[in-house]
Chain A
Amino acid sequence: MIPAEFRYTRASTVDEALDLLATHGDEAKVLAGGHSLLPLMKLRLAAPEYVVDIGPVGELRYVRIEGDEVAIGALSRYRDLALDPVLLKHAPLLAEVSGSVGDRQVRHRGTIGGSLAHADPAADLPAAVLASDATLVARGPDGERRIPAAEFFLGPFTTPLDPAELLTEVRVPRQTGAGWAFEKFTRRAIDWAMVGVTVTGGRVGLVNMGGVPLRATATEQALAAGASIEEAAALAAEGTNPPDEPHATAEYRRHLARVLTRRALTRADARRSG
Chain B
Amino acid sequence: MKVSIEVNGRPVAGEVPDRTLLVHFLRDTAGLTGTNVGCDTTSCGACTVLLDGESVKSCTVLAAQAAGHAVTTVEGLEGSDGTLHPVQEAFREQHGLQCGFCTPGMIMAAVSLLADNPKPTRDEVRAGLEGNLCRCTGYHNIVSAVIDASGQEVDR
Contact = CB atoms under 8 A, between A and B. Distances in A.
A1 B40 contact: yes
Interface in A94-133: 102-106, 108-109
A108 B57 CA distance: 9
A103 B60 contact: no
Interface in B108-153: 109, 112-113, 127-128, 130-132
B17 interface: yes
Ordered nearest first, which 8 A-B pairs have the shortest CB separation? A103-B131, A189-B130, A8-B18, A108-B54, A1-B40, A105-B131, A3-B19, A105-B57
Given A2-B19, A109-B56, 4 more contacts: A103-B131, A103-B132, A104-B109, A108-B56
Interface stretch (A21-29, A33-41, A139-147): A33-41
Q: Size band of the A side of the interface? A: 20 to 34
- Report whether over half of chain B's contact residues are helix, strand or loop; otherwise say mixed: mixed
A102 B131 contact: yes
B42 interface: yes
B42 to A, nearest CB: 5
B25 to A, nearest CB: 12
Main secondary structure of the interface of A (DSSP, over half): loop
A10 B64 CA distance: 9
A2 B16 CA distance: 13
Contacts of B56: 105, 108-109
Nearest to B60: A38
A4 interface: yes
A51 B65 CA distance: 11
Given A39-B41, A108-B54, A190-B130, A6 B65 contact: no
Contacts of A1: 40-41
Contacts of B1: 8
B45 interface: yes
B55 interface: yes
Given A3-B19, A104-B109, A42 B64 contact: no
A4 B19 contact: yes
B135 to A, nearest CB: 13
A211 interface: no
A55 interface: yes
A8 B62 contact: yes
Nearest to B47: A105
Interface in A38-80: 38-39, 42-43, 51, 53, 55, 79
Contacts of B62: 8, 31, 34, 38, 51, 53
Given A104-B55, A190-B130, A5 B18 contact: yes
